[in-house]
Amino acid sequence: MNNEIEKIKKITDKIDGWTTLKERKLLYNLAKNCAGKGVIVEIGSCKGRSTVCLGTGLRKGKIYSIDPFVKDYNLEPDSDLYFHKVIKDRTLFGSNLEEFKKNIREAEFDDVVVIPIVDLSETVAQGFNEPVELIFIDGGHDYDYVKQDFELWFPKVIDGGIMAFHDTNRWPGPKKVVEEFIYKSKNFRNVGFVDSITFAEKVKQNSVKDRLRNRYILLLKNIYTSTAKLNLPSPIRRIGKKLLTLIK
């Protein structure tokens, strides 16, 4: 484990959030691979766990963290509609924006500027004009909200840029969106997944080989998701994950 990964683990283990360590490493690497051709956008920042990973990987540039920053809400599979109704009156819950800012300060980024935007992603998208090199979508999890985030932000991502989605395994909304608009699309190649994050490179037109590979990775993902639900012994699960890594 290199020093930056150790730093990520040390800081983010103290921050509430739902990303696994493997997912945090992935976000770090995706940001590290950015070439400065656009900004990073994060939809759904909560207290900054994923933001720290992105900021540590990014050498220089800007990260826009879009979130209503509502304090201590709990999302259930069918609660997104309620959530989007109540966030407009933040006095009901309070704000975790200051905690987010504190966590970002403690990460001590050098040449990375983190810009929190306290709003809904659909509102921000309307006036957002900067090119996006990497976007991590982890906002409302109902199908309509994930689809809306995809449709609004896809045009802003540069060719060669990366779109990544969280919770694409057990949450029906993100799972369906990535299957329809990423794995089965002609506009993405080099699709991959790490735990529950699906990510892919945007292109004008992928090749037949790209599409076949994307479908193959989708098959592997579905197998991975199905076996994860089984109560298999830990040694067997570990062997399965190693095999999956090799054949990807």
CATH number for 36 = 3.40.50.150
Q: Total domain count for the chain?
A: 1
Q: How far is CA 94 from the centre of its chain?
A: 24
Name residue 163's beta-bridge partners.
135, 200
Residue 13 has pLDDT above 80, yes or no: yes
Give the whole-angstrom CA distance, residue 133 versus residue 200: 12
Mean pLDDT over all residues of the chain?
A: 87
Asked whether residue 38 is domain-assigned, the answer is: yes
Q: Is residue 129 part of a domain?
A: yes
Q: Is residue 238 part of a domain?
A: no
> What are the pLDDT digits (tens) for 196-242?
999 999 999 999 999 999 999 999 999 988 876 666 566 655 555 55
Other beta carbons less than 10 A from residue 91's beta carbon: 6
Domain annotation covers residue 169: yes
Is 231 contained in some domain? Answer: no
Radius of gyration of the chain (CA): 18
The most confident of the ranges 93-102, 139-148, 194-203 is 194-203
Would you say residue 127 lies in a domain?
Answer: yes
- What range does the domain containing 107 cover? 3-208
Assign 69 a pLDDT band (cuts: 50, 70, 90).
confident
Residue at 220: amino acid letter: L
Model confidence, pTM: 0.88
